Structure 1
Amino acid sequence: MSRFQYFVAASLDGFIATAKDDLAWLLEFDGFEGGKESYESFMDGVGCIVMGGETYAWLMKHEPGKWPYPSTPCHVFTRHEHTAPAGSDITFVRGPVREFIQDFKDAAGGKNVWVVGGGNLAAQFAAAGYLDELILSVIPVVLGDGKRLLPLEGPTAPLELTASRTLGRGIVELRYNLNPADTAG
């Protein structure tokens, strides 16, 4: 059964990007020990990607002409008009996340749905009760401010830690179940 997963990296103080969407602090850690294996293992279980318009625009600006997920269906929530790069399987959508849940599950074909981000989109999934798992790589950097990891209106119920491990360069990967009563997804 498809699970909705938020696989993300954040600073020690809980930010996924600077206020100006700068990721230089994160890119300093490219190639850390265990990172590639963690990502590849995660991607093996992904059948559909969902991302916000700002994340999509960042990818298009920083990876012009190159789509990093050519074989995976992707849905982009946006209020703006965008074009999809050649060779991509992208659907642009507008509206509440709950209206598209079955579409995402169908596109995933029994695999998981990766809620790439940003944090605002992941928070919409969490608030609607559709975010099953948070897979967080804590990067040993303090940003001070920026784009929050999961900007919810209030606190969540206690999350269930299902796994943790230390990777290279002081990075810690934590896996949390957001719906502890529903471990099957």
Structure 2
Amino acid sequence: MTLVTAEMSISLDGYFAGPRSDETDWTKSPEALGFFRITRWVVNAQSWRERMGYAGGEQSVNSDLAAELTARNGAYVMGRRMADGGEGPWGEEPPFHGPVFVVTHRERETRHCQGGTSFTYVTDGLESAIAQAREAANGKNVLISGGGTTVQQAIAAGQVDELVLHIAPVLLGEGQRLLDNLGVSTGHGRELTPERVVHTQDVTHLVYRVGKAASLFLDDRGSGDGEA
């Protein structure tokens, strides 16, 4: 069964990057510095480096898990800022090797790259992009790969079946927080079911099944007078 998954690395205090920046050299911005720190675990993983066409890396639990999670994906959804930002670094053979659907307000023809990656620019909304990705995934999962705002929008729209968080043991103190703006109103919450925990020295990997928004209520605090 095709699942729509969202996967992000975050700091212990919940940030997926430093404060947003539109600097020309993004790699030197506070935004990038935060992002580089929390994704260090995967950059050091041998499976990720092989996928990117880089040498070296560590064969580790982190590397095995990164390879396992990637193998599940048949199609991808991402925001336009991520797609545009990655166009140069990813080169002629981006690391997705499958169809990518880019949520955007600006039209652009589908871009076909080496290695089987294609970028289709979807202008009629996130839900349309996810629907197209489901159809293209051939029974595998659809990964909402970022950025963080796109993940937030997908959770708020109730489109995410599984949330995978890679929590780096660092406090950034400021930046862009992932688990904000999730469309859950006052007096409600969105219940998650833990399915898997993998802990290493570099990062803790958490996999949750995402439930529907539900009303919150006061428990009885042991008095026997609260709601069941």
**Residue 110 (structure 1) aligned with residue 139 (structure 2):** yes
With 96-105 and 71-80 compared, the bigger mean Cα shift is at: 96-105
Kindly state the Cα deviation for residue 25 of structure 1 after the two structures are TM-superposed: 1.4
**Residue 73 (structure 1) aligned with residue 99 (structure 2):** yes
- The SS at the match of 2:16 is strand
**Residue 7 (structure 1) aligned with residue 19 (structure 2):** no
Q: Distance in 1 between matches of 2:10 and 2:63?
A: 17
Kindly state the Cα deviation for residue 154 of structure 1 after the two structures are TM-superposed: 4.7
**Residue 140 (structure 1) aligned with residue 169 (structure 2):** yes
Kindly state the Cα deviation for residue 35 of structure 1 after the two structures are TM-superposed: 1.9
Is this contact kept in 1: 2:5–2:141, CA < 8 A?
Answer: yes
- The SS at the match of 2:191 is coil
- Tell me what 2:65 maps to: 38
**Residue 47 (structure 1) aligned with residue 60 (structure 2):** no
Unaligned runs of 5+ in 1: none
Is this contact kept in 1: 2:196–2:207, CA < 8 A?
Answer: yes
- The SS at the match of 1:158 is strand
**Residue 86 (structure 1) aligned with residue 113 (structure 2):** yes
Identical residues among aligned pairs (%): 27
**Residue 162 (structure 1) aligned with residue 200 (structure 2):** no
Deviations 1:33-87 (A, max 9, x none): 3222111101111000101112112212433444111x21110112346673632
Q: Distance in 1 between matches of 2:10 and 2:80?
A: 19
Counterpart residue type for residue 25 of structure 1? R
* TM-score calculated relative to the size of structure 1: 0.85
Structure 1 residue ranges, 4+ long, deviating more than 6 angstroms after superposition: none
Mapping for residues 52-67 of structure 1, pairs under 5 Å: 52-67=79-94
Q: Distance in 2 between matches of 1:74 and 1:138?
A: 25
**Residue 177 (structure 1) aligned with residue 209 (structure 2):** yes
Q: Based on CA coordinates, which of the two structures has the bigger radius of gyration?
A: 2
Is this contact kept in 2: 1:160–1:180, CA < 8 A?
Answer: no
Backbone CA RMSD of aligned residues: 2.3
Kindly state the Cα deviation for residue 134 of structure 1 after the two structures are TM-superposed: 0.7
Q: Distance in 2 between matches of 1:137 and 1:7?
A: 8
- Tell me what 2:52 maps to: none
Is this contact kept in 1: 2:161–2:209, CA < 8 A?
Answer: yes
Q: Distance in 1 between matches of 2:89 and 2:172?
A: 21
Deviations 1:16-37 (A, max 9, x none): 1111330221354332532221
Is this contact kept in 2: 1:120–1:151, CA < 8 A?
Answer: no
- The SS at the match of 1:173 is strand
- The SS at the match of 2:167 is strand
Is this contact kept in 2: 1:34–1:168, CA < 8 A?
Answer: no
Count how many residue pairs are aligned between Structure 1 and Structure 2. Answer: 179
